[in-house]
């Protein structure tokens, strides 16, 4: 059964964050709050946990997983960015956006799109999520917690613990979570494409 951690939204307790980070370090899978609903997350390189995310969400191999980072400086190690991409992402992070870009060799192969060799990246505007990332000291392999057949992410930690308690190892809850999924923007080609409309304003990316 998943462990449930209830932390303060403005000042999440360090002890709880350290315990969640330890679960991640052991290869565990967690549900955690962001500015765009709850997300499922695991440490870099944990292939089994990625497979668990696929099962929970009913995903196929074409799904873009996301590297959730605590700060902009981390992105360059995992995705390729030119000046255009750099400016576009810098202007809108942290925030409720996921950007699809070609992966570097540092990005975990297990989470890359099998044909495009791309990966999503994002920096949430959420105190608890970023505090956890700072304790972990690295990005998380992640996916928005949208169950099969649903259109929006799960937003209540108790409900997640009750319904997915045997599917995840921990639920981190701070009671403040966004209600809409991220806006997903594909920045790979000459033409920018909005792949999903969500919480982030998509108008800057529409021609």
Helix (H, G, I), strand (E, B) or coil at 169: coil
CATH architecture of 3-200: Alpha-Beta Complex (3.90)
| Helix (H) / strand (E) containing 56 | helix 47-57
- Residue-wise pLDDT tens digits, 59-109: 988 888 999 999 999 999 999 999 999 999 999 999 999 999 999 999 999
Tokens of 67: 């590297």
Helix (H, G, I), strand (E, B) or coil at 135: helix
- Identify how many contiguous H helices and E strands the chain contains and give both numbers: 5, 10
Average pLDDT over residues 12-30: 98
In 10 A of CB 7, how many CB atoms? 22
| Cross-strand partners of 74 | none
CB 133 within 8 A of CB 70: yes
Q: Is the pLDDT of residue 156 over 80?
A: yes
Q: Provide the residue ranges of all domains of the chain, joining segments of one domain with +.
A: 3-200
Q: Is the pLDDT of residue 190 over 90?
A: no
Quote the DSSP letter at residue 90. H
Tokens of 129: 């999520």
- Residue-wise pLDDT tens digits, 105-140: 999 999 998 889 999 999 999 999 999 999 999 999
How many Cα atoms within 13 Å fall on the side-chain side of residue 33?
Answer: 28
């Amino acid at each position: 059964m998943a462990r449930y951690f209830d932390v303060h939204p403005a000042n999440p307790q360090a002890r709880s964050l350290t315990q969640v980070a330890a679960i991640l370090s052991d290869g565990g899978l967690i549900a955690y709050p962001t500015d765009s609903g709850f997300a499922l997350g695991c440490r870099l390189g944990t292939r089994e946990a990625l497979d668990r995310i696929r099962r929970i969400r009913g995903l196929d191999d074409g799904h873009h997983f996301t590297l959730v980072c605590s700060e902009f400086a981390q992105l360059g190690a995992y995705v390729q960015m030119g000046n255009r991409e750099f400016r576009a992402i810098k202007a809108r992070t942290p925030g409720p956006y996921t950007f699809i870009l070609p992966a570097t060799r540092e990005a975990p192969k297990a989470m890359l799109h099998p044909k495009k060799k791309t990966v999503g990246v994002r920096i949430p505007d959420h105190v608890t999520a970023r505090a956890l990332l700072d304790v972990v000291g690295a990005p998380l392999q992640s996916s928005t917690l949208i169950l099969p057949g649903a259109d929006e992410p799960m937003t209540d930690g108790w409900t997640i613990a009750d319904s997915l308690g045997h599917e995840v190892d921990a639920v981190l809850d701070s009671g403040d979570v966004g209600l809409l999924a991220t806006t997903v923007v594909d920045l790979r080609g000459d033409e920018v494409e909005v792949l999903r409309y969500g919480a982030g304003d998509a108008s800057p990316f529409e021609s």
